[in-house]
A = this chain, B = another copy of it.
Amino acid sequence: MTTLAEVARKAGVTAATVSNVLRERGKVSVETRERVLAAVRELGYRPNLTARALAEGQPQTVALMVSSIANPFYPAFALAVERAVRKLGYFLIVCNTNDDPEQERAYLDAVAGSLARGVLVMNADFVQIDELVKLRERGVPVVLCMWEKPDQPPPLPSVAVDFFRAGMIAAEHLVKLGHRRIGVVMGSELSGNHIWRYRGFLEGLKRAGLELPEGHTVFGHDTIDAGRNAGHALLAAVPDLTAVFASNDLPALGVLQAAAEVGLDVPGDLSVIGITDIALAHQVRPALTTVAVPIDESAELAVELITQMIRETGTPGGQPPLREASVPRLVVRASTGRASKAAAGAK
């Protein structure tokens, strides 16, 4: 590896001057500048980023914590984050916790040890928030990329996404299509991350004068398989359902499969709606109707927040800022339709 010193020697100057040339600090005569640049080229010199980071006191990386890279929600978000972060001159370090608190701790420790200049946390649910707060207190910029608890102010700078509203929108859509016998497949436990989507959905029904009967909700996990299982359970328990709301796209996709497997036509016999609008949603057939959440925008807001924090160098002070991403919006595709006459009559 060529070093600054070698370049300097070759150019007949000192390291300081080479550094000045490279950082474009001005104060260098055109002539030596040329000489230095030539030497750099000849030697194929690349500045050692580690050394630079040490000298500058800050690494040039930003970390993104996710519970699983394999989560299909990840790609779009990560892409936006990566782009935004690069624009600031940082590199992205992916911290894949696999929902394992130990791994999570390991990463957080590393970040505290200046692995990264700041941390973006994609899904704050799986993370022990306390750990993040501690990290913040140590002076590391931390931002929660998707805060979905409108009842609590976030303990850290966050981007809020109105999932309550998303739930309401889903309910309104189904109601407007004439559905009355509706089931719900949850991608989390009742106390879990999706609670506000559930509440929003309930609220939407309530405003239409409807209630969700006991036994019309199945709680589970945020996966296609869990959704399929939940779908089967729900359809078996309440056979005359005309619509199912899933708290996330993945389980909604599972419900789609379950419906197909028991010979139900979607949307003829059953309508299905999800939340998020991951890429998959429009790639499956029937394409999934869903309430799209502003993924890219959230990523950008999150990066904006962290940029600010990085610039402001310290002093948290006061209530952590909360940026609101725009309101989720309904994306009607092929998986929802009017409640069938038969089913409507059956009510």
Name A's B-contacting residues (CB within 8 A). Answer: 1, 44, 46-51, 53-54, 59, 61, 68-72, 74-76, 78-79, 82-83, 86, 91-96, 98, 103, 109-110, 112-115, 138-139, 224, 253, 256-257, 260, 279-280, 283-285
Contact sample, A vs B, 27 pairs, CB 8 Å cutoff: A1-B138, A46-B113, A48-B113, A49-B110, A49-B113, A49-B115, A50-B53, A50-B114, A61-B93, A69-B82, A70-B76, A70-B279, A71-B75, A72-B72, A72-B75, A72-B279, A75-B75, A83-B96, A91-B95, A91-B115, A92-B93, A92-B94, A92-B96, A94-B94, A257-B283, A257-B285, A280-B283
Task: Flag if A256 contacts B280 (CB, 8 Å).
Answer: no
Is B79 in contact with A114, judged by CB distance below 8 angstroms? Answer: no
CB distance from A41 to the nearest CB of B (A): 13
The residues of B that contact A75 with a CB separation of less than 8 Å are: 69-72, 74-75
Chain B: CB-nearest residue to A256: B285
Tell me which residues across on chain B come within 8 A of A76, comparing CB atoms: 70
Q: Are A1 and B114 in contact (CB under 8 A)?
A: yes
Complex Cα spacing A123 to B75, Å: 17
Number of copies of this protein chain within its complex = 2
CB pair A113 B47 closer than 8 Å: yes
Q: Are B96 and A79 in contact (CB under 8 A)?
A: yes
Give every chain B residue within 8 A of A46 (Cβ-Cβ).
109, 112-113
Are the CB atoms of B283 and A224 closer together than 8 Å? Answer: yes
Q: Which of B59, B103, B284 contacts A50 (CB 8 A)?
A: B59
**From A53, A92, A109, A283, residue with most partner B Cβ within 10 Å:** A283
Q: Chain B contacts of A72 at CB under 8 A?
A: 72, 75, 279
A220: shortest Cβ distance to chain B, in Å?
Answer: 17
In the bound complex, residues from chain B placing their C-beta under 8 Å from that of A285 are 256-257, 260, 284-285
Q: How far is the CA of A257 from the CA of B282 in the complex (A)?
A: 11
Known: A50-B50, A280-B280, A285-B257. A110 touches B139 (CB 8 A): no
Chain B's nearest CB lies how many Å from the CB of A290? Answer: 15
**Among A94, A256, A279, which residue has the most Cβ atoms of chain B within 10 A?**
A94
Q: Which residues of B contact A59 (CB under 8 A)?
A: 50
A21 to chain B, nearest CB (A): 16
Q: Which of B1, B93, B113 contacts A139 (CB 8 A)?
A: B1
For A86, list chain B residues within 8 Å (CB). Answer: 103
The reply to whether B91 and A44 contact each other, CB–CB distance below 8 Å, is no
Q: Which residues of B contact A109 (CB under 8 A)?
A: 46
* Contact (Cβ within 8 A) B82 A78: no
The residues of B that contact A91 with a CB separation of less than 8 Å are 93, 95, 110, 115
- Residues in B with CB closer than 8 Å to A79 are 68-70, 96
Shortest C-beta distance, A78 to chain B (Å), equals 5
- Please name all residues of chain B whose beta carbon is closer than 8 Å to the beta carbon of A74 when the two chains form the complex: 69, 75
